[in-house]
Amino acid sequence: MEEISPLIKVLIDNKQKILDSKKYNEVEFDEFIYSLMQAENERQKVLKKIEELGSIDIQKLKDILKISEHRLIYDIEYLKELGLLEFIGEISEFYQSIEEKNEKEGLFPNVSIIRDKKICSGCGLCVSICPTNAINFLNDVLNINDDLCINCGLCYACCHRSFFPRELKDNQEKLDTDIKYLKEFNNYREIYSAQTKDNITKEIAQDWEIVTTLLKIAFKENIIDAAILIGTTEKPNEPLPFLIQNEEDLFKKARIVYNNANLLKILQNSKRFKKVAVVGTPCIMEALKKISIYPLNKPFYDNIALKIGSFCMNHSLFGCFFCDDLTAELSDISIGSIGSERGWSTVIARTSRGANLFQQALDLKLIEKKIIEEDSKNFNTLSKIAKSKLKMYKEIPRQKMIEQDPKVRRNNFLEVPKGYTLEMVKLETQRCLQCGIPLCIEGCPVNVDIPKFIRLLRQEKFSEAINNVKTYNLLPAICGRVCPQEIQCEQACLLGSVSNPIAIGNLERFIADWDRKSQVKACPDCQAPKNIKVAIIGAGPAGLTCAGELLMRGYDVTIFEAFHTGGGVLVYGIPEFRLPKEIVREEIETLKMMGSKIEYNKIIGKIMTIEDLKSMGFKAFFIGVGAGLPTFIKVSGLSLNGVLTANEFLTRANLMKAYKFPEYDTPIKIGKIVTVLGGGNVAMDSARVALRLGAERVIVVYRRSEKEMPARRAEYHHAIEEGIEFQFLTNPVSFIGDENENVKQMEVIKMRLGELDDSGRRRPIPIEGSEYKIDTDTIIIAIGTKANPILTNSIPELKLNKWGYIETDEHGKTSLEDIYAGGDIVTGSATVISAMGAGKRAAIEIDYYLTKKKD
């Protein structure tokens, strides 16, 4: 080998650290390095030949290099992963899809996927391969100790999520007449429900009883002389591998919790055996194969005598959805729990090797079986799940919402996306994996049971679906439209790591709109009245949610709202084309149906105080007054005509319906060139409203780069489609007026990004001498808001933080016993759903406080 590979170098450089971890002694370490060098040598030869041929011709490469197709494919995949085949346009398939999500760093550009909770299946292979014991699982989450990590990339190399070479389908006897074929299962001979009749096995092996019985026979009949199992230990995320050497060993190891197994050593040891069984999900088998070739260079797979595949639904993250387990062509026999009654396992005999072994177990009366007929209920369950797996990321793409044409919509205030059709809902719901441990629920701040409502939608049980959603979220039509799902439930969706996540927001919107249009609107059940009065101050998402939750618990709820209408930012901030006001009004109607009273035009702190409310009999208070005070920028020319805050601009446009002037009597002056300062949702909304009000050019000026913009990506793209211009890394220096004090220009300076600041984003730094001027006749300042002190000033004992926001614990409890708070007035400007989550948590705490007080 002319050049030492980066992996070998990093291992040699960190030899002492590796020896300190005690996974290897010095001799083993040297052997390992030697084996790696051989593997590297082989790959260099493959690379050289590909360079000479100018393409990947498997047949030619096999003939010239005299290596098996398996090895060749893995070598090629490995070269692709390192980007060494880019010169012929070959890039790892998995890489491309994951590329955007990960920083390119380290030896293996995407080694950071190992840290991605969403991608991790919890198989534990990386824990066992890590040469320095830097990886562990804590509370079911994989952690990497950066002090121990030597960035060798071995964890990445063994991760079965790092690539999926689907072309390796080799062990089928396709010409055999016994073979059946169904698209969802691939090739198989027979499908059974099976149960062991061997009591000792049953007791010791528990869930693994069929596997253990088959292995026992395989040892007895000399079919195998060793087995590698990736079994589950007591902790779901530590299913580390182990090597079994004989029948006695099989029973001995059946219940041991394996920690700190050394995968490489296990694979190296397995080389001593001639006939090895491998047991695990097919993706794990693939991972073992990959490791055995890279980095071990041990043709481990050449001595495999039996492959027992497992398809389980237990931990959901473990293999089930990403490899073709149920649909495998890789196993001789597949075993799992789906499709059989409790206490029985489903067995799919695929090859003659697998079928013969199963027959031997039957002949020896160690197993009893029932055939699962093709028209039976069990068969249907199996095929349904197998089908949905195939569909989820192979056949059905994420359904794209139909939208108004940008050229048309830039001139109107009608909603931009038009919603899903029933047909789209049918397709989209089929993509849902119905995970056993649904991460999407965790990702939702109000914990909507997302898989359940999607399941109900899939079954077209619309009224049950909306009832289910409304138990958790009383504002689904709003959340379906404006929630940043991409950083919440959809970001957590497991499907997102191999394909596009389920369009949860779009489905929520569909079911909420169906409810709005239906005759009988869903209204959650409320407990019997408790006759205890609770006051909610502010009818934004936080207040409305808190009110709903308290109504369900039987409280007598009154909402006090400063404006003449409810909804908070939902009506005066977010424009009609993103969230029609009618929808907000209708969702507030549900609260009224549940018994809520709403008092409009009541500014608490001015017209009335909390003390007044106490004297009216209110026993607890929730403050959800938002953070509506505009923030100004320190530049000269702020008082020029044509300089507005986004609050003023959007409130006039939205709440006072200035866009319908003269039908409504609030005029709004908009110039020809409008400049908007900021990069958040408020800036996007202001820019798009300005365009619709007749501006000829709208320019958004943002001091950081596109990457740091906090606006929802979808809204940013909508803005671009509509023709909004963006000037990134640009900051205002002064506003320049004409002789009549009307703004005519904005002087700006170019910025560069420096070190990270407190917000975790890179700090913008002015570039001296880069000033220039932008012609403009309207400037809208959309750089954030802060707490409005009207209410808080009237409660001097209430503890605030240094910015004037109310201090609470995680349940929304303030420094005063009967006062709770949530939403933007606690967190500063955030999101609709986070405000709703806070309202919900506070309601639960208020209920606890009032019940406790009563007791």
Per CB under 6 A, which region of 228-236, 448-456, 531-539, 746-754 contacts ligand FAD? 531-539
Question: 3-class SS at 830?
Answer: coil
CA distances from 362 to 179, 207, 224 (A): 20, 19, 19
When the beta carbons of 341 and 582 are compared against ligand FAD, the nearer one is 582
Binders of ligand FAD among 775-804, rule CB under 6 A?
788, 790-791
Per CB under 6 A, which region of 79-87, 174-182, 274-282, 476-484 contacts ligand FAD? 476-484
When the beta carbons of 61 and 684 are compared against ligand FAD, the nearer one is 684
339 binds ligand FAD (CB under 6 A): no
Which two structure tokens, joined as six digits, stand for 55?
């393409």
Among 129, 539, 550, 551, binds ligand FAD (CB under 6 A): 539
182 binds ligand FAD (CB under 6 A): no
Among 231, 443, 476, 568, binds ligand FAD (CB under 6 A): 568
Number of neighbours of residue 729 by Cβ within 10 angstroms: 21
Strands, E, within 172-281: which ranges? 180-182, 186-188, 190-196, 226-230, 241-244, 276-280
CB of 446: closest distance to ligand FAD in angstroms?
Answer: 12
When the beta carbons of 92 and 785 are compared against ligand FAD, the nearer one is 785
Which two structure tokens, joined as six digits, stand for 70?
């398996």
Angle at 824 between CA 820 and CA 828, to 5 degrees: 120
DSSP string, 57-100: -HHHHHHHHT--HHHHHHHHHHHHHTTTTGGGT---HHHHHHHT
Angle at 823 between CA 818 and CA 825, to 5 degrees: 75
Integer Cα distance of 154 and 295 in angstroms: 8
Site string for ligand FAD, 232-271 (x = CB under 6 A): ----------------------------------------
Per CB under 6 A, which region of 42-50, 257-265, 512-520, 564-572 contacts ligand FAD? 564-572
The β-bridge relationship of strands 629-630 and 135-138 is unpaired
Integer Cα distance of 596 and 558 in angstroms: 6
Per CB under 6 A, which region of 262-270, 340-348, 349-357, 536-544 contacts ligand FAD? 536-544
CB of 832: closest distance to ligand FAD in angstroms?
Answer: 4
When the beta carbons of 527 and 615 are compared against ligand FAD, the nearer one is 615
445 binds ligand FAD (CB under 6 A): no
Which two structure tokens, joined as six digits, stand for 66?
């005299």
588 binds ligand FAD (CB under 6 A): no
CB of 396: closest distance to ligand FAD in angstroms?
Answer: 28
When the beta carbons of 72 and 546 are compared against ligand FAD, the nearer one is 546
508 binds ligand FAD (CB under 6 A): no
CB of 639: closest distance to ligand FAD in angstroms?
Answer: 23
Cβ atoms of 267 and 242 closer than 8 Å: no
Integer Cα distance of 698 and 299 in angstroms: 63
540 binds ligand FAD (CB under 6 A): yes
Site string for ligand FAD, 678-717 (x = CB under 6 A): ---xx--x--------------------------x-----
**Sequence letter at residue 33:** I
576 binds ligand FAD (CB under 6 A): no
84 binds ligand FAD (CB under 6 A): no
Name the strand (E) or helix (H) holding 744: strand 743-756
Q: Which of 544, 603, 541 is nearest to 832 (CA)?
A: 541
CB of 85: closest distance to ligand FAD in angstroms?
Answer: 43
Q: Which of 434, 431, 325 is nearest to 386 (CA)?
A: 325
605 binds ligand FAD (CB under 6 A): yes
Among 277, 446, 569, 658, binds ligand FAD (CB under 6 A): 569
The β-bridge relationship of strands 778-781 and 673-677 is parallel
Per CB under 6 A, which region of 198-206, 348-356, 558-566, 588-596 contacts ligand FAD? 558-566
CB of 595: closest distance to ligand FAD in angstroms?
Answer: 20
When the beta carbons of 349 and 689 are compared against ligand FAD, the nearer one is 689
Site string for ligand FAD, 640-659 (x = CB under 6 A): ----------x---------
Among 294, 555, 560, 728, binds ligand FAD (CB under 6 A): 560
Cβ atoms of 114 and 160 closer than 8 Å: no
When the beta carbons of 250 and 569 are compared against ligand FAD, the nearer one is 569
CB of 686: closest distance to ligand FAD in angstroms?
Answer: 7
Q: Which of 170, 141, 480, 145 is nearest to 329 (CA)?
A: 170
443 binds ligand FAD (CB under 6 A): no
486 binds ligand FAD (CB under 6 A): no
Cβ atoms of 533 and 829 closer than 8 Å: no
**Sequence letter at residue 763:** R
548 binds ligand FAD (CB under 6 A): no
476 binds ligand FAD (CB under 6 A): no
When the beta carbons of 114 and 579 are compared against ligand FAD, the nearer one is 579
CB of 579: closest distance to ligand FAD in angstroms?
Answer: 8
Which two structure tokens, joined as six digits, stand for 423?
């047909």
Among 482, 620, 748, 798, binds ligand FAD (CB under 6 A): 482
When the beta carbons of 191 and 542 are compared against ligand FAD, the nearer one is 542
Among 624, 679, 732, 784, binds ligand FAD (CB under 6 A): 624
CB of 642: closest distance to ligand FAD in angstroms?
Answer: 20
Cβ atoms of 294 and 71 closer than 8 Å: no
Cβ atoms of 584 and 573 closer than 8 Å: no
Residue pointed to by tokens 């609470």? 808
When the beta carbons of 330 and 806 are compared against ligand FAD, the nearer one is 806
Per CB under 6 A, which region of 139-147, 302-310, 739-747, 821-829 contacts ligand FAD? 821-829
When the beta carbons of 21 and 794 are compared against ligand FAD, the nearer one is 794
Q: Which of 410, 415, 429, 555 is nearest to 478 (CA)?
A: 415
Cβ atoms of 333 and 308 closer than 8 Å: yes
Name the strand (E) or helix (H) holding 452: helix 450-458
Among 628, 678, 679, 784, binds ligand FAD (CB under 6 A): 628
Beta bridge partners of 806: 800
Strands, E, within 207-275: which ranges? 226-230, 241-244
Name the strand (E) or helix (H) holding 138: strand 135-138
**Sequence letter at residue 560:** F
CA distances from 114 to 130, 143, 155, 280, 456 (A): 12, 9, 7, 20, 34
CB of 640: closest distance to ligand FAD in angstroms?
Answer: 23
Among 354, 626, 732, 764, binds ligand FAD (CB under 6 A): 626
Number of neighbours of residue 143 by Cβ within 10 angstroms: 12
Among 231, 239, 309, 543, binds ligand FAD (CB under 6 A): 543
Residue pointed to by tokens 């001296």? 768
Strands, E, within 281-400: which ranges? 304-311, 333-336, 345-349, 367-371
DSSP string, 718-751: HHHHTT-EEE-SEEEEEEEE-TTSBEEEEEEEEE
Cβ atoms of 670 and 693 closer than 8 Å: yes
When the beta carbons of 22 and 799 are compared against ligand FAD, the nearer one is 799
Beta bridge partners of 557: 534
Phi, psi of 41 (to 5 degrees): -55, -45
Per CB under 6 A, which region of 63-71, 189-197, 247-255, 603-611 contacts ligand FAD? 603-611
Residues binding ligand FAD: number (CB under 6 A): 44
Site residues (CB under 6 A) for ligand FAD? Answer: 482-484, 537-543, 560-563, 568-570, 573-574, 602-605, 624-626, 628, 650, 681-682, 685, 712, 788, 790-791, 823-825, 829-833, 835
